[in-house]
Structure 1
Amino acid sequence: MSMKDLQSALVKGMIGRREFMAGAMALGATASTASLFAAQAAETPQKGGQLKVGFQQGSTTDSLDPATFNNDFMFAIGYAVFNGLTEITPDGKAAGELAESYEATPDAKVWTFRLRSDVVFSDGSKLTSADVIATLNHHMSEQSKSGIKPLLAQISAMKAQGDHTVVFELESGNADFPFVFNDYHLGIRKAVDGKIDPLSPIGTGGYTIEAFEPGVRALLKRRDGYWKEGRAHIDEVEILAIADAAARLNSLMTGEVDLIDRPDLKTIHLLKRRPGINIHTQNGTLHYTLPMHTDTAPFDDVNVRMALKYSIDREELVEKVLQGYGAVGNDQPISSSVPYFNAELEQRSYDPDKAKFHLKQAGLSSLDVTLHTADAAFGGAVDASLLFSESAKAAGINVKVHREPNDGYWSNVWLQKSFSASYWGGRPTPDLMFSAAYAAGADWNETRWKNPRFNELLVSARAELDQGKRAEMYGEMQSICSNEGGAIIPMFGQYVSAMSDKVKKPAAVTEMWDLDSQRFIERWWVA
């Protein structure tokens, strides 16, 4: 048996690492060299096999319309079936995907994207500039409610230059513009007569949709001849929505599924002891929020918002809800791993006396509010809400916890109720995060917050090419958000998932979002 045969047997699970090491050294390899060969084998993708996934999220209101994507069930499908102009690499950069290259004018106001000429849709038609423009117009139209619409508002004009070049003119310079096209809403769709069919499953990605039951199940099959070399390895992927944490954990332990996201951290010790199951953790931009509608009483008073921010015990939440898989938050969404993080911003902590002071400033001696929550918002959201309710009592604040149904939470509660639970996977740059969730008028501005100074800085920082000045602007924006914004952000979390040891992944993954930024279907493989 050759070293290549040994490596193949290791990858396929025919032999274990111990047998591989013994065989490699019998062939003359040293222990260190054998370990190197083992590591190389573990990172060599293999074609074939099946993968079953159990996701916490998914809703019966889900749709293939990319403008409506708002949960992990759809994000994973979107990235597997469609491609964007760019994708984020493990080192945090925006690399070309459908775009072979891109370049900007010195003021970063005009961007030229050149498309690959070898890309075809799953129906055999070739990708052209018309498909890109029609896809973007779907999100930018006046009637569109797409979550990406605010980020595309900066485009003042776009035009095709032939079949494989698109030129974008922006209202002002934006050095981060290529990052926009990694967004899960912006998988390019096929154009027909200048428009896309938003419900069509035809895409340029490595997989086709064989079955789609919203909020229940999706079945994907690998395309032959996918234009991306070294991607799309698994023959068939089935995604199941399993909202209940106990059911999701049990489905992995019994082998019903091979991978689950967001395991219940209180019971994760059961998985750690289970042979053949691996726990995968990622740092990133994940954060949990309790958004308050700042245009609705009593949350329209900044002192009420500050009282609530001081009445939550962040350390307790990290310890009891995240089981230590995270860190305290400071009521602003930029994580320490993102450029321009403001490390000088004073960390807010639990302080009932300060909470009482702000209540007094608001003319109140006590406060009654209702917090709408469900574990569909994030794993442990109900427990976090109950802990918040207890800690707030010391400040004279009565937080009534109203538990909502998991199904339909994102369509019926989030953005609808004046005080609720939510989470954000974050974005790779401050501009993208602030523009999506904090800019005045953004469809996903979950707090309905409008701060003139903040919005002025948002536009100025986006066009500022001096890195020092940019850092100052984003630092001030984080301070304004923390002290005046409508979101309580008590904690940042690690992404945690659990999987059978048959599931393999590259040594470096993109840590912005869960499961290789939800691109695991294309990038991972099974043994």
Structure 2
Amino acid sequence: MLDRLMRSAAALALMGGAALAAEDSITIGMVLEPPGLDPTAGAAAAIDEVVYANVFEGLTRFGPDGSVRPALAESWDVAEDGKVYTFHLRTGVTFHDGTAMDGEDVKFSLDRARAEDSANAQKALFAGIESVEVTDPQTVKVTLTAPDGNFPFNMAWGDAVIVAPETIADAATHPVGTGPFRFTGWTQGDRVEIERNPDYWGEPVAITKATFRFISDPTAAFAAMMAGDVDAFPNFPAPETLAQLAADPRFKVIVGSTEGETILAMNNRQPPLDDVRVREAIAHAINRQEIIDGAMFGYGTPIGTHFAPHNPDYVDLTSISAYDPEKSKTLLAEAGVADLKLRLALPPPTYARRGGEIVAAQLAAVGIQTEITNVEWAQWLEQVFKGKDFDLTIVSHTEPADINIYARPDYYFQYARPDFVALMDRLTLTTDTSDRSAILKEAQEMIARDHVNGYLFQLAKTGVADARIEGLWENSPTQANDLTAVRWTE
């Protein structure tokens, strides 16, 4: 009887969802709430999950297949020396406050991102810019210090969106962009709301209103889907329920790949983790498949380096850090380490909290004790990412093709081996595809053999949606819930 009542309640809730569908609105579930809504001043993936391609746009953008496409720049030319990019901007583009977007806004955005006091989390994307010149309101010339065939790719990141000087100060709480949706409200701890921009320069979107609801608890996420409180959950945190949802004709399960290298990050300058033998011991203590099965219910691909398996330049290096607990014990003895206790900071995502418990048990089996601390996302960003106050943490790096972060001396796991930095410098100057591939493969092997981090798995994109919704991304070439092609069907 109770089961029938629950099914009836779910059906009524779904009817409510159908009414929303008729109004062309949608509610999207997200695990994490963004700490702010300015993608040019924050590292959290949740920022882009709300605003990328929806509220903010860049000169270029990523398509759902990972390709780089025109956005605010309808085209661009590259000088023969590969150092000068001339971007031709679209006409008739306005910000959500009604002011025109032109070359001066592009110059402001790029100069701000590359400034010495820039708070941009991906400042390296702009490091090669020598100057930005506005030749006329619709044309911007960017001169680089060296050739970089990857520059249009860099400009597609969420960190490179175009903003206006008049509104950037309040962007964290009231973002003003040029996108097909405009920001309407943020109820902190619960939701962000956006609505269709009637003055959008491009093709109007089908959705008139979108709400992003923040539900980190897997059980609550499942209940929200079943009750119709959420129409789609593109990164669903309860993989153990996917089979049940897939069997229900009201829903469809969307499984794809992401750019999310999930790692057991180690503080490479914190003794004894500054000893490669200790880091290697930790790596060999990890049973990747056990983590994938136990934390992700089988969804995920084992990785042995910081590179996406679907990338054509990926090298399978899992054998370098294969599960071998006896080798772990031997390495710890060689390093003279006994009774080791390390701090393990776990942010809210399911892969971290559930995976962290499994990792802790695996490390304990080789004699390494862990003190687990569950931290909220804002605390993780402040303490771990910015403050580097940690020993171990588990996080998924969802930025596209981001192996270059290992060359940054101030990055939170603090590696930046000079040989690796030199490799990344060579990569920037290399345009030949085969040569770039060779450098990337060498880079993957270097960090794998240095055991910079414990490489766990590539995060699968496991999404759930109302069966009538079309246009959600199957894969995640960047961290985004792009709603520009989403629509309801009958």
Question: Under a length normalisation based on structure 2, what TM-score does the superposition of the two structures give?
Answer: 0.88
Structure 1: distance between partners of 2:451 and 2:135: 43
1:525 aligns with 2:487: yes
Question: Which residue number in structure 1 is paired with residue 30 of structure 2?
Answer: 55
Structure 1: distance between partners of 2:378 and 2:118: 24
Question: Which residue number in structure 2 is paired with residue 465 of structure 1?
Answer: 431
Instruction: Rate the CA distance shift 1:393–1:65 in 2: closer, same or farther, 3 A.
Output: closer
2:212 pairs with 230, 239, 245, which one? Answer: 239
Contact 2:300–2:458, Cα closer than 8 Å, also in 1: yes
Question: Which residue number in structure 1 is paired with residue 138 of structure 2?
Answer: 164
1:79 aligns with 2:79: no
User: 1:509: Cα distance to partner?
Assistant: 5.2
Question: Which residue number in structure 2 is paired with residue 357 of structure 1?
Answer: 330
Structure 2: distance between partners of 1:191 and 1:370: 42
User: 1:485: Cα distance to partner?
Assistant: 4.6
Structure 2: distance between partners of 1:213 and 1:412: 25
What are the residue-to-residue correspondences of 1:122-161 with 2, within 5 Å? 122-161=96-135
Letter in 2 for 1:258: D
Contact 2:28–2:210, Cα closer than 8 Å, also in 1: yes
1:512 pairs with 477, 481, 486, which one? Answer: 477
User: 1:236: Cα distance to partner?
Assistant: 0.5
Question: Which residue number in structure 2 is paired with residue 35 of structure 1?
Answer: none
User: 1:484: Cα distance to partner?
Assistant: 1.2
Instruction: Rate the CA distance shift 1:139–1:298 in 2: closer, same or farther, 3 A.
Output: same
User: 1:439: Cα distance to partner?
Assistant: 1.8
Contact 1:73–1:241, Cα closer than 8 Å, also in 2: no
Deviates more, 1:71-80 or 1:89-98: 71-80
Structure 1: distance between partners of 2:285 and 2:482: 39
Contact 1:138–1:196, Cα closer than 8 Å, also in 2: no
Structure 1: distance between partners of 2:378 and 2:249: 33
Structure 2: distance between partners of 1:486 and 1:213: 39
Structure 2: distance between partners of 1:380 and 1:342: 23
Contact 1:307–1:354, Cα closer than 8 Å, also in 2: yes
User: 1:55: Cα distance to partner?
Assistant: 0.9
Structure 1: distance between partners of 2:329 and 2:337: 9
Tell me the SS of whatever aligns to 1:321. Answer: helix
Superposition RMSD in Å? 2.5
User: 1:298: Cα distance to partner?
Assistant: 1.6
What are the residue-to-residue correspondences of 1:108-119 with 2, within 5 Å? 108-119=82-93
Contact 2:37–2:47, Cα closer than 8 Å, also in 1: no
Structure 1: distance between partners of 2:430 and 2:382: 37
Instruction: Rate the CA distance shift 1:240–1:91 in 2: closer, same or farther, 3 A.
Output: closer
User: 1:154: Cα distance to partner?
Assistant: 1.3
User: 1:494: Cα distance to partner?
Assistant: 1.1
Question: Which residue number in structure 1 is paired with residue 368 of structure 2?
Answer: 397
Question: Under a length normalisation based on structure 1, what TM-score does the superposition of the two structures give?
Answer: 0.82
Any idea what the Cα deviations from partners look like across 1:292-328, whole Å, max 9, x if unmatched? Answer: 1111112111111111111111111122222221111
Question: Which residue number in structure 1 is paired with residue 283 of structure 2?
Answer: 309
Structure 1: distance between partners of 2:71 and 2:64: 14
2:193 pairs with 209, 219, 223, which one? Answer: 219
Long gaps (5+) in structure 1: 1-12, 15-45
Q: How many residues align?
A: 466
Structure 1: distance between partners of 2:432 and 2:377: 46
What are the residue-to-residue correspondences of 1:72-471 with 2, within 5 Å? 72-192=46-166, 196-199=168-171, 201-229=175-203, 231-260=204-233, 261-330=235-304, 332-343=305-316, 346-374=319-347, 376=348, 378-405=349-376, 408-416=379-387, 417-427=390-400, 429=401, 433-435=402-404, 437-441=405-409, 445-471=411-437
Letter in 2 for 1:71: A
Contact 2:286–2:363, Cα closer than 8 Å, also in 1: yes
User: 1:151: Cα distance to partner?
Assistant: 1.5
Contact 1:282–1:496, Cα closer than 8 Å, also in 2: yes
Contact 2:55–2:179, Cα closer than 8 Å, also in 1: yes
Contact 1:55–1:73, Cα closer than 8 Å, also in 2: no
Deviates more, 1:266-275 or 1:316-325: 266-275
Structure 2: distance between partners of 1:353 and 1:325: 28
Tell me the SS of whatever aligns to 2:360. Answer: helix
Letter in 1 for 2:485: R
Aligned residues with identical type, % of pairs = 23
Structure of greater Rg: 1
Structure 2: distance between partners of 1:269 and 1:171: 52
What are the residue-to-residue correspondences of 1:27-38 with 2, within 5 Å? none
Long gaps (5+) in structure 2: 1-13, 16-20
Tell me the SS of whatever aligns to 1:340. Answer: coil
Tell me the SS of whatever aligns to 1:421. Answer: strand
